[in-house]
Chains A and B, each alone.
Chain A
């Protein structure tokens, strides 16, 4: 555990994030800490408040983590360069939001569009019609009302953890057992969602 007391090199961070172990969270925090000084630089450079810079930095880190884990970041540029570019975009979004109230340009990669694109054209539009963005917020509320274990499991799934990682973290014997439990939790969420009072 001593390695977590020192600043890790980018290669070690990337390996730690992509390894798919239960220590991923620690590598995420290490990445966050390593380049946290960019927040101070952004405050001076973009003339934004500390809180706004912190928020933009957290968003940027989460996006980078998603890209690293999903292998969308291919290592063609330095990790710092990649992060700086995304962080700058988030800061610009923040300035734009504060000055013009326009919606952000650089949206978070939720992956909904990617998933929809996987469907054949003829069914894609039908499914798209069924998806209402505001319903996602309702589902988030229902998710918060789920039991602790189910909520944690679905959130881990949302964070991109595999069933094997979920099994290791939450103490299930196998990935298959974790998957069955997770799907059961999704069914519970569906029941809550369909219930008029969310219970």
Chain B
């Protein structure tokens, strides 16, 4: 057997090879041996290949499972991130809602307590008479009439700060927040007044409107009022 193997492995010398081939022609038993060796090697190759193929197929299945697992982990991670973001957003939303409800309640109490009635004016002339009339209507709860009076006054004199403030307050009481904000904003931008509650009242109106953006603007205005000690800053504290 070793001689046959050496022949096919090309490790026999030239003379040994020639001798082997000569013997092979004349010796049927050697031919049988050669045939067996070749068949055995082919069988070993086929069997080894089949077994190795089986091993590689198992490796392929492991790779597939690994790929599926990676995909599953990636999806799980993505789902976890989405869930965390969702929970965080919900918590933030709840907190914002609770906070904005609290702020609105505070603004509402402030209006109830401080802005239900207006102080009257002492001096009397045509303009102050109209203002007095408007304030009386306001204090008597006739808000529509008070609004018409203050608006008319503003039409006659757009620089009348008292009329602007009262027009804003009456709009606030009537829950016409956009108009109230407009009046208070105009008032708040004026720099010629000794006392100007415009920004503070605008913040109150914004809080009463109670929308996400108005809440933020109200907070900023209240900070400004507090920082510059504008009218109403003590109430902010």
Q: Which residues of A are interface residues toward B (Cβ below 8 A)?
A: 28-29, 32-33, 36, 39, 50, 54-55, 57-59, 61-62, 108, 110-112, 115-116, 118-120, 122-123, 126-127, 130-131, 135-137, 139-140, 143-144, 154-159, 179, 183, 186-187, 189-190, 193
Contact = CB atoms under 8 A, between A and B. Distances in A.
B159 interface: no
Contacts of A110: 42, 45-46
Contact of B48 (A50, A58, A120, A156): A156
B10 to A, nearest CB: 8
Interface string B217-236: 00000000000000000000
A136 B42 contact: yes
A92 to B, nearest CB: 18
A127 B47 contact: no
B55 to A, nearest CB: 8
Given A139-B40, A144-B47, 13 more contacts: A29-B56, A32-B59, A58-B56, A59-B53, A112-B42, A118-B10, A123-B24, A130-B34, A139-B39, A155-B44, A155-B48, A159-B48, A186-B1
Contact of B46 (A32, A136, A187): A136
B122 interface: no
A117 B235 CA distance: 108
A36 B39 contact: no
Contacts of A59: 53
Given A39-B60, A143-B47, A158-B45, A127 B1 contact: no
A156 B41 CA distance: 11
B60 A58 contact: yes
Interface in B24-58: 24-25, 31-32, 34-49, 51-53, 56-57
B62 to A, nearest CB: 9
Contact of B31 (A58, A130, A187): A130
A58 B57 CA distance: 7
Interface of B: 1-2, 5, 8, 10, 21, 24-25, 31-32, 34-49, 51-53, 56-57, 59-61, 63-64
B227 to A, nearest CB: 60
A155 B47 CA distance: 7
A70 to B, nearest CB: 12
Contacts of A143: 43-44, 47
A156 B48 CA distance: 7
Contacts of B5: 183
Contacts of A144: 47
Contact of A29 (B2, B38, B59): B59
Given A33-B59, A126-B31, A187-B1, A193 B36 contact: yes
A115 B38 contact: yes
A115 B45 contact: no
B40 A189 contact: yes
Given A111-B42, A127-B35, A136-B43, A118 B8 contact: yes
A186 to B, nearest CB: 6
